[in-house]
Structure 1
Amino acid sequence: MVVLNGTGTIADVVTLADRREQVSISAEVLAGVEQAYHRAADLSARFPTYGRTTGVGANRTTQVLADDKDYGMRLLRSHAVDAGDPLADRTVRAMLAVRLIQLCAPGAGLDPKILSALARMLNDDALPELLQYASIGTGDLAALAGTALTLIGERPAKAPLPPMPPWGADSALPFMSSSALTVGRTCLALDELHRLERASSVIYMLSFLALDGNPSTFSVPAARAAAAPHVDTVAARLRWLSAGDGRDGRQPRRIQDPYGLRVYPVAHASVVASLDSLGRQLERTLNAAQENPLFDVDGDMVVHHGAFYQASLSLELDGATLALALTAPITHSRIRMLNDPETNGHNAFLAAGEDGSSGLMMVEYVAAGAIAEIRAAAQPASVGTLVLSRGAEEDATFASQGTQQLERSVAAYRVLLACELVGALRLLRQRGLHDRFGGVLGEALDLAAELPWNDQDRDLRGDLAAAEELLDHLGGLVTDSDG
């Protein structure tokens, strides 16, 4: 059971998105939210309050009458506009988990019964249907408005769900005032990327040993000389992985390796650093009350602000996709080395003996296609701008676009790593080195033993698919403490 006590984690979001646990809210949190609910009612009766006593967006100067009991429902219905393909259930659960964690930090001033209903929606998997295209501005308004209508019973849920009574203006805008879908999707992408970047180190070492690389590239002096964040972490991880590597004193084939082997610690460190920074920003966003307006109970005031403007998250998302784009060509360089007789010591493309055999030639092309997708997705979303709601929002942050681009990068990165893994395994097997390793590399090769051994020209789609399936397991062999 994930018990929310006022602070949530990315791991909590992933756990709930995967339905590995149920969720509950501590009594202390519910008491704090209820106190804020009553104080918000008092404050909004004394001060003009955006979204309660006024319209929203360009209608912010329009007064809403106190006896307009239908205003909250009109607000939800008008904002629940989306289009395109349905989002995956796992993505929807991640959004619900994020919004529930956020609402445990009092400040929104909404009805505490909504938190209990949201927890029930998650626990019963009674999900709303949300579509791909919605707002790109400063909040995931359409997704959350659609969720509210599902909680109320105006839209169907995917499982039976007791409907809530209609919401008033005290809860409609506060519930929508969040980037929970963007944050939830980013949590899932980051969780997957952590596994993939660790798998990358395992696969790099397999390629490194198959190609008789020079270990000085991840030595302590080399890492120190890089003078960049996390290079020492990556280099230490590679030294740890190389323990029991079965080289038996063999000398490296080259004094100085090509970039694909030599600069991996530096290039990959940029990925590790970007993911670390993105994770810290995500957890800050996950645990902050960012609703506009914010009810400051202790200060006895209604705070109208721009804290919801996701500039930092947008930049961190761009940083992660750019880091993947930077390191992708280095991966392709190793794939080329694995295929080149000058570096692999065997046939071109690691083909079988028959003249004219193509071997892994097209795997290199698949890898290039994945790199093209990573590069296209790395075009910074944060430099985009759009004016919305008759100028009320002069500049959207495009954070929601940034997380979709990161998802595209993750999918392509997975393919790229699978291509390298297929090549590294084939060269190790052709050299008779596949059973020479102990430690983690030995475990990795045991996991990979199920991949086909046939070197004849044939359809390799299944090989790549099987390699992709292995990546999460390979990443699981490396833990944070190992580096």
Structure 2
Amino acid sequence: MTSASPAHRDRIVFDGADLTIEAVDAIAAGRARALLSEDSDFIGTIEAGAGFVQRLWQEDGVVYGVTTGYGDSCGVSIPPTQVEQLPRQLYTFHGCGLGEPFSVEETRAVVAARLASLCQGYSGVRYQLLQHLQRLLYEDVMPVMPSEGSVGASGDLTPLSYLAAVLEGQREVWHRGKRLPASEVFSQLDWQPLQLQPKEGLALMNGTAVMTGLACLAIARARYLAQLASRVTALCSLALRGNAFHFDPALFAAKPHPGQVRCAAWLHSDLREGELPRNSDRLQDRYSLRCAPHVIGVLLDTLDFAGSLVTTELNSANDNPLIDPSGEHVMHGGHFYGGHVAMAMDSLKTAVANVADLLDRQLAQLMDPRQNHGLPANLSGAGADLQAISHGFKAVQIGASAWTAEALKLTMPASVFSRSTECHNQDKVSMGTIAARDCLRVQTLTEQVAAAGLLAGWQGVQLRLDRQELSLDALREGPRQSIAQVAEHFSLLVDDRALESELRGTLDAIRRRHWVLYD
């Protein structure tokens, strides 16, 4: 995404107070910059936890991951002379991630999620460590973090090991569009690596920051998708001479699922009854138009559910053990387990994929002269002399069918594929990170279907306008605005042309949330 200039970015303060999904999304997109609170009480709380951990292990107390080994090795006592070496050992042996690296945007979200969790004050880390995380975000020096290798409990250990290593000047970072050794960038910026203290390597790695950061992005993108899918539906209804009474408020008062009611209201505002010719031969449109609120509404209601779970996770202390700085005791538990994020992402990807299927079916109606009520086959705008060799949106529909099929295939829930691992210590795991990665892939595929649907819907409406079967002045403001916005970069498809660049441009605008759709 294009980043805003520094002077126009919002400032988001990390101080242990609740952070929103929108804030993480803004930081990830470069629309906002992260600041760390300098409040003395906040700093005191953070330092109290770090001080307690320091005293405890120096007094020969037993602290998991500080004076013991990790996981199944928790029964192994660490000699006092090796305690300070243990954090480096942890991120070193976890340096085995594979797969493509997360994008810079995704990595910003991950780092923001980890900083938010550590700011809760239960992780036993120093304020100095928080400063270094904030500096990475503020100066946009992002770890190169492989996307594969986490089972989602004990946290996102392997991908987060790359964050821990970067703080000590190890491994690689993204900086100014280049992939470079962290040591080289630190030297350029005159930064000194941070030496991790006991518990700090574990606190950085043993949490749900990867799945949570990705989930924030998935939710933000899906919120926009729900609005976009509604507008695409409105354009398709106009092109197909649909029945606007299907979205009457009185109808939806009888079945008031909140998201369904919201979507119907958007469509009703776009398609006021009486503006379009009523079809004498049918009272009811096919389901992909008539039931659009019942599909998009499920996504909206799922977003409320998933957003609540992810917001709680984002604002939680989710590593192990937790440190109570006021009561001065260590709490061993399993807050690294990402079950809630896994369920949120498994649910969300299903709802999103259903929207892809809905838009694909609308696209099929637009293409087929047996269903599109007088529009040319495949929405070709060619004249009679070229009709025989013109194919319009035929291949675009084929592509949309492929993207939809892949999205639907990926809806298999990841959370049920728990595997016992790590000598059966991690014998039940969340798979939350795989669920989040799947959800983002489904989101990308569905946005591609939406881009195709938007251009095809625009083409269908434009053909009606050219035939004077619709009047632009008679249309409501929302569709009229979208028609004008699409026309800024897309012209009527008359002679066949390769549409890849225009589809990519539309997709880029979708991902930037370029268009304001509904209030």
User: 2:147 aligned to 127, 132, 136, which one?
Assistant: 132
Q: Any residues of structure 2 matched to 1:61-460 within 5 Å, and which?
A: 61-68=75-82, 69-138=84-153, 139-157=155-173, 158=175, 159-160=185-186, 162-242=191-271, 248=275, 250-252=277-279, 254-344=282-372, 345-351=374-380, 352=382, 353=384, 354-355=387-388, 357-432=390-465, 433=470, 435-436=472-473, 437-449=475-487, 450-460=489-499
- For residues 473 and 155 of structure 1, the distance between their equivalents in structure 2, rounded to whole angstroms, comes to 31
473 and 14 in structure 1: CA distance in 2 versus 1, 3 angstrom threshold: closer
- For residues 340 and 76 of structure 1, the distance between their equivalents in structure 2, rounded to whole angstroms, comes to 57
Counterpart amino acid of residue 256 in structure 1: Q
- Per the TM alignment, residue 399 of structure 1 is displaced from its structure 2 partner at its CA by 0.6
- Per the TM alignment, residue 262 of structure 1 is displaced from its structure 2 partner at its CA by 0.7
Contact 2:218 2:439 in 1 (8 A): yes
182 and 430 in structure 1: CA distance in 2 versus 1, 3 angstrom threshold: same
Residues 27-47 of structure 1 deviation map (CA, whole Å, 9 limit, x = unaligned): 232221112222333455575
Equivalent position SS for 1:261: helix
Q: Which residue of 2 aligns with 1:3?
A: 13
**Residues 1:33 and 2:30 are matched in the alignment:** no
- Per the TM alignment, residue 360 of structure 1 is displaced from its structure 2 partner at its CA by 1.9
- Per the TM alignment, residue 129 of structure 1 is displaced from its structure 2 partner at its CA by 1.8
Q: Which residue of 1 aligns with 2:26?
A: 15
Aligned residues: 478
Counterpart amino acid of residue 245 in structure 2: S
Residues 222-271 of structure 1 deviation map (CA, whole Å, 9 limit, x = unaligned): 3233353421111112222335x9x6463246301110111001111111
Residues 259-314 of structure 1 deviation map (CA, whole Å, 9 limit, x = unaligned): 01110011111111112222211111111112110112344421111122111110
Equivalent position SS for 2:81: coil
Equivalent position SS for 1:48: coil
173 and 472 in structure 1: CA distance in 2 versus 1, 3 angstrom threshold: closer
Counterpart amino acid of residue 237 in structure 2: F
**Residues 1:51 and 2:65 are matched in the alignment:** yes
Counterpart amino acid of residue 214 in structure 2: R
Equivalent position SS for 2:64: coil
- For residues 398 and 57 of structure 1, the distance between their equivalents in structure 2, rounded to whole angstroms, comes to 18
Contact 1:95 1:184 in 2 (8 A): yes
Contact 2:400 2:448 in 1 (8 A): yes
| Structure-1-length-normalised TM-score | 0.93
Contact 1:447 1:470 in 2 (8 A): no
Counterpart amino acid of residue 402 in structure 1: A
- For residues 508 and 305 of structure 2, the distance between their equivalents in structure 1, rounded to whole angstroms, comes to 27
165 and 261 in structure 1: CA distance in 2 versus 1, 3 angstrom threshold: closer
**Residues 1:465 and 2:504 are matched in the alignment:** yes
Contact 1:451 1:466 in 2 (8 A): no
User: 2:35 aligned to 19, 24, 36, which one?
Assistant: 24
- Per the TM alignment, residue 411 of structure 1 is displaced from its structure 2 partner at its CA by 1.1
Counterpart amino acid of residue 224 in structure 1: A
| Segment of structure 1 superposing worse, 226-235 or 314-323 | 226-235
| Structure-2-length-normalised TM-score | 0.86
- For residues 226 and 252 of structure 2, the distance between their equivalents in structure 1, rounded to whole angstroms, comes to 18
171 and 434 in structure 1: CA distance in 2 versus 1, 3 angstrom threshold: farther
Contact 2:67 2:79 in 1 (8 A): yes
Counterpart amino acid of residue 13 in structure 1: V
Contact 1:350 1:360 in 2 (8 A): yes
- Per the TM alignment, residue 356 of structure 1 is displaced from its structure 2 partner at its CA by 5.4
Equivalent position SS for 1:431: helix
Counterpart amino acid of residue 17 in structure 1: A
- For residues 127 and 363 of structure 2, the distance between their equivalents in structure 1, rounded to whole angstroms, comes to 55
- Per the TM alignment, residue 474 of structure 1 is displaced from its structure 2 partner at its CA by 7.0
Residues 311-370 of structure 1 deviation map (CA, whole Å, 9 limit, x = unaligned): 111011010111123333322221121112233212222233323532222222111101
474 and 427 in structure 1: CA distance in 2 versus 1, 3 angstrom threshold: farther
Contact 2:152 2:211 in 1 (8 A): no
Percent identical residues: 26
Gaps of 5+ in 2: 1-10, 176-184
Q: CA RMSD in A?
A: 2.2
- Per the TM alignment, residue 475 of structure 1 is displaced from its structure 2 partner at its CA by 7.0
176 and 85 in structure 1: CA distance in 2 versus 1, 3 angstrom threshold: same
Contact 2:54 2:198 in 1 (8 A): no
Contact 1:43 1:300 in 2 (8 A): no
Residues 191-227 of structure 1 deviation map (CA, whole Å, 9 limit, x = unaligned): 2222222111111101111112112221123323335
- For residues 245 and 476 of structure 2, the distance between their equivalents in structure 1, rounded to whole angstroms, comes to 21
- For residues 148 and 129 of structure 1, the distance between their equivalents in structure 2, rounded to whole angstroms, comes to 11
- For residues 491 and 341 of structure 2, the distance between their equivalents in structure 1, rounded to whole angstroms, comes to 42
